[in-house]
């Protein structure tokens, strides 16, 4: 049987061993936990940084696309404005030219009428004032950009007043109305009538120039060039022939 002293020493030794082991185990658990927490924090930060960078890149791309859309919208608006302005200038030019030619035709017709002998009684001629009103009404439709309506009005005028002094001009503006409707084939057919029926009229040269423009837009460059050459040969000295010569130099 062991003595009480030996028992006490054994218990004390066991306690010391137990106490020494406990802190070492606890210290090992704390270090491992801190390490794992640090790794989780690092991975979280890396993931957050990656997501933040991706979001920032996406935001930059969106802003860049917005800027590009705004730029393209501005270009479209500018081109639309320039096209509308060009159409208006061309329309004003045609109207102004028509007014000048009408004045010239009126002044040239007056002396010729005075030199002629009094004709024998003939069938009643249409009222010039009525013709003028019908022609002006059709021309006003063209000025307003109502090309479908002006085409119908000019077509009706030529049919109702085939012998009118305004018939060549009405036929010419019929062609321009079809051109305004982007129907180049009908525009060419209408201008051909001007050249065929009223070849000596001032509008005939302009009609040929418009024919060439439509032929070019239809992709028939060869015929367009031939029309320009015929124009220069048939109506030398006319403004239309001067324009045709300039176009031929560029071809």
pLDDT, tens digit (0-9, with 9 covering 90-100), for 159-173: 999 999 999 999 999
Domain finish residue from 100, 118, 142: 100
How confident is the model at residue 34, as a pLDDT?
81
Residue 233 lies in a domain: yes
Quote the pLDDT of residue 87.
60
User: What is the mean pLDDT of the segment spanning 225-235?
Assistant: 96
Domain that holds residue 38: 25-100
Mean pLDDT of 113-133: 63
pLDDT at 101: 63
Are residues 192 and 143 located together in one domain of the fold? Answer: yes
Where residue 250 falls among pLDDT bands split at 50, 70, 90? confident
Residue 231 has pLDDT above 60, yes or no: yes
Same domain for 79 and 157, yes or no, is no
Q: Assign 185 a pLDDT band (cuts: 50, 70, 90).
A: very high
| pLDDT at residue 62 in the model | 87
Q: Are residues 141 and 234 in the same domain?
A: yes
**Has residue 108 been placed in a domain?**
no
What is the C-alpha to C-alpha distance for residues 110 and 67, in angstroms, rounded to an integer?
65
67 in helix, strand or coil? helix
Give the pLDDT mean for 121-129: 63
Mean pLDDT over the full length of the chain: 79
pLDDT bin (cut points 50, 70, 90) of residue 111 is low
> Rounded to an integer, what distance in angstroms lies between the CA atom of residue 191 and that of residue 76?
33
Lowest mean pLDDT among 83-87, 106-110, 187-191: 106-110
76 and 134 within one domain:
no
Answer yes or no: do 49 and 134 share one domain: no
Max mean pLDDT among 63-67, 70-74, 104-108, 118-122 falls in 63-67
pLDDT band at 145 (very low <50, low <70, confident <90, very high): very high
- Mean pLDDT for the stretch of residues 51-61: 81
State the alpha helices, DSSP H only, in the chain.
4-115, 128-143, 147-160, 167-180, 184-197, 202-217, 221-234, 239-250
Identify which of 2-6, 9-13, 50-54, 102-106 has the greatest average pLDDT.
Answer: 50-54
Whether residues 137 and 85 share a domain: the answer is no
152 and 214 in one domain?
yes
Does residue 20 surpass a pLDDT of 50?
no
d(CA 220, CA 197): 25
pLDDT(8) > 50: no
Query: How many independent structural domains does the chain possess?
Result: 2
Whether 141 is covered by a domain: the verdict is yes
From the list 89, 83, 94, the residue with the least C-alpha distance to 210 is 94
- My answer on whether 199 and 238 are in the same domain is yes
pTM for the whole structure: 0.55
Q: Which comes out higher in pLDDT, residue 43 or 161?
A: 161
Domain co-membership, 141 together with 58:
no
């Amino acid at each position: 049987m062991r003595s009480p002293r030996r028992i006490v020493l054994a218990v004390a030794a066991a306690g010391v061993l137990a106490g020494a082991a406990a802190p070492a185990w606890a210290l090992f658990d704390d270090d491992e936990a801190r390490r794992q927490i640090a790794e989780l924090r690092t991975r979280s930060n890396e993931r957050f940084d990656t997501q933040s960078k991706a979001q920032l890149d996406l935001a930059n791309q969106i802003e860049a696309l917005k800027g590009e859309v705004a730029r393209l919208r501005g270009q479209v608006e500018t081109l639309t404005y320039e096209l509308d302005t060009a159409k208006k200038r061309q329309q004003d030019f045609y109207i102004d030219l028509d007014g000048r030619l009408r004045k010239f035709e009126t002044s040239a017709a007056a002396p010729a009428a005075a030199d002629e002998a009094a004709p024998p009684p003939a069938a009643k001629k249409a009222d010039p004032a009525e013709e003028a009103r019908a022609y002006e009404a059709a021309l006003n439709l063209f000025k307003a950009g109502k090309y479908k309506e002006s085409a119908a009005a000019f077509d009706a005028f030529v049919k109702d007043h085939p012998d009118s002094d305004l018939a060549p001009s009405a036929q010419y503006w019929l062609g321009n109305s079809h051109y305004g409707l982007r129907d180049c084939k009908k525009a060419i057919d209408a201008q051909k009538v001007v050249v065929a029926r009223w070849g000596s009229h001032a509008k005939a040269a302009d009609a040929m120039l418009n024919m060439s423009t439509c032929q070019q837009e239809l992709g028939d460059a060869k015929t367009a060039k031939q029309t320009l050459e015929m124009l220069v040969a048939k109506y030398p000295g006319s403004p239309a022939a001067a324009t045709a010569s300039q176009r031929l130099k560029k071809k």
